[in-house]
Chains A and B, each alone.
Chain A
Amino acid sequence: MNVKEYISSGILEAYLLDEVTPQERMEVLRMTQLHPELKRELDRTETTLKSFAMKASVSPRKELKNMIMAKAEQALNGARSSKLIRLNPLPFWKYAAAASVVVALGTSYLAFNYRQQWKEANVALTDLIARNQRVAQNYNVVNQKLEKIQDDFSIIESSAFKKVVMKGTAGEPNALASVYWNATTEEVFLSIQNLKAISADNQFQLWAIVDGKPVDAGVFDTGFPGLLKMKSIKGATAFAVTIEPRGGRTAPTLATMQVVGTAG
């Protein structure tokens, strides 16, 4: 049989999906032993299938692992205790022994049964504890979001913060962003209304004009909720945003300026 043709029929893929007849399975096993190249091809196809499945991963909930481990342990203990029951001694005095065996079996069964129930309760408890932790985590996340909204709101509302609207430059008439700047504490917060999407290699950079010179106020990516705290700035007369290589630069690339606004 021509190995190349055999491979291109797709038989290896069908074999890996466990969708071959018993005869075909035997044939694949025999052929892979005869032809090392076929074995290599099978191995490579298996590796590809595995990489693909890894790509398609969806993590299960964290607590599932504990439940499975507990059940596996339980299955193992179950197998051991059923062996013990079978090892009970055979009756010597017919009646008395028979009765004692019945009692022993009954007791073993009850003990086993209670142990199972206890284990199940334990698994359920672990599950509940895990769920409880998850609820607590969710609560914390929501709480942090709420605090962030309250903080942002207090900045927007505060008279100590000056709102500097940065309007789009000639090349980007629709771009719009704002800075909330506290001249006393020198704090700077950024809010984006509209900035275009840029490639992952680049980042936006905020500049403040201080004494006529541009000063770096930090780099940022779009997509954050509410306000973003930037570097503190003293004595700014204007703010502007440019596009720079990821990580930012020490001097602005004026050609990529997106928005600008005076703080006067």
Chain B
Amino acid sequence: MTRLKRKESAALDYLYDHYSGALNGIVFRIVRDEDVAEEILQDVFLRIWDKIGNYDSSKGKLFTWMLNVARNLAIDKVRSKEITKAKKTDDIDNLVHKIDRQESGELAVDTIGLTEVLERLPNEQKFVVEYLYLKGYTQTELAEEFKIPLGTVKTRLRLAMIELRSILNVA
């Protein structure tokens, strides 16, 4: 962390090697376009590099901060391009398959595990996890578009996190 704040490129190197896949996974699923995702990923890492001085470790883990930088940039991009919600609501399975199909081409993917993880969640929890974490919906958007009370969205995500914790073996 100190090395990152001193702006040593080895630290950025480390972050890239460990987290570029996870951040790209989120960004790519939100923007649905490999080139756009890479453009955003560049912005994400340059922003992390630039704003690392503002990161306050008492307010959360570095990864969560990076994830939110990536998610917010991706959401901004989708909004600025005015990509319609119709495109956003494509079935996630199609997307996962689409990514799988590209595996032999350009993307090395670990989505088999992800599909299994999602399948093990009850349907209504799977739904909120997909829309909030993988499709770039905010909680408010999800509540409004699918006519679910905001409080319900929040508690379902809470229950999903408890399930995910045991599925993913988090201590």
Contact = CB atoms under 8 A, between A and B. Distances in A.
Interface of A: 7-14, 16-19, 29, 43-61, 64-65, 67-69, 71-73, 75-76
Contact of A17 (B132, B151, B156): B132
Contacts of B12: 68-69, 72
Nearest to B105: A138
B22 A10 contact: no
Contact of A19 (B20, B117, B139): B139
B158 A67 contact: no
A50 B155 contact: no
Contacts of B26: 53, 56
A114 to B, nearest CB: 22
B129 to A, nearest CB: 8
Interface in B140-168: 140, 151, 153-158, 161, 164-165, 168
B37 interface: yes
Given A18-B68, A46-B60, A52-B168, A9 B151 contact: yes
Nearest to B129: A52
Given A48-B170, A64-B41, A68-B16, A57 B110 contact: yes
Contacts, number: 155
Q: Would you call the interface of chain B mostly helix, strand, loop, or mixed? A: helix
Nearest to B154: A10
Given A53-B67, A75-B50, A59 B13 contact: no
Contacts of A17: 68, 71, 132, 138-139
A29 B59 CA distance: 7
B63 to A, nearest CB: 5
Contact of B164 (A52, A60, A68, A73): A52
A122 B20 CA distance: 23
B22 A53 contact: yes
Given A8-B158, A68-B46, A56 B29 contact: yes
Nearest to A49: B64
Nearest to B138: A19
A69 B158 contact: no
Contacts of B60: 16, 46
Most chain B beta-carbon neighbours within 10 Å: one of A8, A29, A60: A60
